[in-house]
Amino acid sequence: MPTTHAPATDPDQLVPAAEQSAVRTLLRLWPYVRPVRARWAGAAAVAVVASCLSLVFPIVLKWIVDGPVTDHDPGGVWLGAGMLLALGVTEALLFGLRRWLVARPLASVEAAMRGDLFRHLQRLPVAFHDRWASGQLLSRGTTDLMVVRMFLAFPLTFLIVNGVTIVAGFVLLIAQDWGLGLVLLAPALPLMVLCYRFESTYASAARRAQDQVGDLTTVVEESVLGIRIIKGFGRHRSQARAFRDLSHTLRGTELTKARLLAGILGVITLLPEMALGAALVLGSVQVADGKLSAGTLVAFLSTALALRWPIDSIGFLLAMSQEAATATRRFFEVMDEPEESEGVSAAGAPAAEDGAGGLRFEGVRFRYPDAPDASEPVLERIDLHVRSGETMALVGATGSGKTTLTALVPRLHELTGGRITLDGRDIGSMEREELRTLVSVAFEEPTLFSASVAENVLMGAVEADAAQLDRALGVAQAGFVKALPDAAGTQVGEQGLSLSGGQRQRLALARAVVGSPRFLVLDDPLSALDVHTEALVEAALREVLAASTALVVAHRPSTVLLADRVALLSGGRITAVGTHQELLRANAEYRHLMSGADLQREDDGPLGPEGKGTR
């Protein structure tokens, strides 16, 4: 199983991310927000107007207290009450309008980001997917993008709205009484210092929590997909312990976040409340001395109370902003990974020269991208020529690099050195779409998708018709399909686990041959079949191989006997090439690999009575 990516488990990797500017990180969302900027800006403007309306309430109250109340005018009081009611209804309607304005466009932003992430994942090299746990990728495409959408819809808007409201409110306070206004402003500097320190600390905790969610998602996904193994080996308790341990770790991180948020919220609430209390005492003394009107004091206190929520929410909005910045970093960690290098069109490539046709490996060298520089290459100086129309069996001990070599042909991995040609054309200069149309593959592990049998098989050639589908199923001896409830239209379920291993392998083989490809790369395609089915598949497969240039990884003599020649891969190098019997006679390692196997068909020659040796 792939290991969890470093940021999910290595605390040292979190420090640089925490020190990055949250503003700079969030600005990377602009290309996604740009298409909806007008509607979002309109929603923010509506919210600013609605919030600033709350500052009109104290002005009306001042007029009521200093006017109708002082003059004992009931009609004026009712008029003031009507004005307050109208202001409240208008404010509510404006906030509702803001919500309506942002809902649809921000949902489209989330959808666009998720679509880009999925498309990018499809274009990333296999080496990337080998390094990253699927749960980490899944959490980035779901939870993280939901956090980003929520940030754009609420915290970002209200950071602007509350900022404008606080500034406007303090202008009103200073205008009403500059001395009391300065008292309320006194906590501003210590609050800014505390918020700055809170941001960096909370960012680290938020990163840990989101990475731990990815780890937890990985455990859940692997446990569901591997439920047969878990049950078969009675490992449900150990899996439950692993899940519980990760859950407790995540719980601890979430509690750390809660403590940090509680601390900053407590301070943000306490300091302004103390300042408000001091202003109330000083204002009351001034009213008693006749230096301040009662209406002005009421208006002053009402304005201060109107600013209470915008100030108290600062900690909460900063916390959500940090979580959104962390989610954005995690999103762009994947998006910044380089995609597979795309070849240039080879329309002008020279025609194949004599002897250059077929599949040729020339000085091929390969080392995995994340391998240490001092490590030995997996493959070194591979020189091999599979002639046009020939089938070459690739034989070697476990770990010798057979699967890696076959993965180089469709460019699932990029060569470290050398080149591979198809009919004289360098695959490095070919468009991947063209290359993968010419080359069809069947992997040792038959992967199926949650789709119908036909959809799974036709992934090998989407333009194939029903006749080609039936032919491919026939070659793979997949007659069991007719007995399924809806025949080829039957849904096979996630990973194709509703089918047996042999059935999945036969469908994977059918997928490889359905389009009658020019080049075939088969990685031990018959390993899960019983001997009788294997014999039937081999007989049908010979006809397909006769029309293709094929490289077949083989572990059994029965598969080797499908080939014209055999290449022995040992220690990352091709050490011998010849027919099956030539290698049996001349190569001790090959004899060892084939020893103990059923070689009864040797008497019929290297290819059996229906072999291709007569071509």
For the four alpha carbons of 300, 306, 307 and 309, in that order, the dihedral sign comes to: positive
Q: Where are the domains of the chain?
A: 24-335, 359-445+518-604
What region does 363 belong to: left with phi over 0, alpha with psi -120 to 50, or beta?
A: left
Which range has the worst mean pLDDT, 122-126, 167-171, 230-234, 262-266? 230-234
Q: What is the mean pLDDT of residues 85-90?
A: 80
Give the chain's mean pLDDT. Answer: 79
**Whole-number percent of the chain with pLDDT over 90:** 8
Residue 485 Cα distances to 428, 466, 488, 502, 506, angstroms: 44, 18, 9, 19, 18
> Binning pLDDT at 50, 70 and 90, where does residue 598 land?
very low
Look at residue 84 in the predicted model and tell me its pLDDT: 75
Q: Greater confidence, 550 or 290?
A: 550
Rounded distance between C-alpha atoms, residue 471 and residue 342, angstroms: 33
Q: What is the secondary structure of 284-300 as a DSSP string?
A: HHHHHTTSS-HHHHHHH
Contact, 431 vs 342, CB < 8 A? yes
Q: What single letter denotes the amino acid at residue 292?
A: L
> Binning pLDDT at 50, 70 and 90, where does residue 71 land?
low
How many beta carbons lie within 10 A of that of residue 224, not counting itself?
A: 10
> Binning pLDDT at 50, 70 and 90, where does residue 86 land?
confident
> Binning pLDDT at 50, 70 and 90, where does residue 383 land?
very high
Which range has the worst mean pLDDT, 112-126, 283-297, 319-333, 350-364? 350-364
**Sheet of 379-386, strands arranged across:** 379-386, 359-366, 417-422, 425-426
Look at residue 559 in the predicted model and tell me its pLDDT: 81
Instruction: Give helix 314-335 / helix 155-176 axis angle, nearest 10°.
Output: 150
Q: Both ends of the chain: CA-CA distance in Å? A: 43
CATH for the stretch 24-335: 1.20.1560.10
Q: What is the mean pLDDT of residues 113-118?
A: 91
- Which residue is it, tokens 């091709």? 574
**Torsion of the alpha carbons at 149, 153, 156 and 161, rounded to the nearest 10:** 180
Contact, 172 vs 61, CB < 8 A? no
Q: Is the pLDDT of residue 482 over 50?
A: yes
Question: What residues contact 346, with CB distance under 8 A and at least 6 apart?
Answer: 425, 426, 429, 430, 431, 434
* 359-445+518-604 matches 24-335 in CATH topology: no
Q: What is the mean pLDDT of residues 471-488?
A: 85
> Binning pLDDT at 50, 70 and 90, where does residue 222 land?
confident
Q: What is the mean pLDDT of residues 124-143?
A: 84
Q: Is the pLDDT of residue 434 over 80?
A: yes
Look at residue 609 in the predicted model and tell me its pLDDT: 33
Q: What single letter denotes the amino acid at residue 535?
A: A
Strands 359-366 and 379-386: antiparallel
Rounded distance between C-alpha atoms, residue 321 and residue 310, angstroms: 15
Q: Is the pLDDT of residue 361 over 90?
A: yes
Q: What single letter denotes the amino acid at residue 189?
A: L
The CATH class of the 359-445+518-604 domain is alpha beta
- At residue 270, φ and ψ (nearest 5 deg) are -65, -50
Q: Is the pLDDT of residue 351 over 60?
A: no
- Which residue is it, tokens 């389009």? 515
pLDDT in tens, 231-247: 777 777 888 888 888 88
Q: Is the pLDDT of residue 1 over 50?
A: no
The candidate with the shortest Cα–Cα distance to 243, out of 220, 266, 269, 224, is 220
Look at residue 348 in the predicted model and tell me its pLDDT: 39
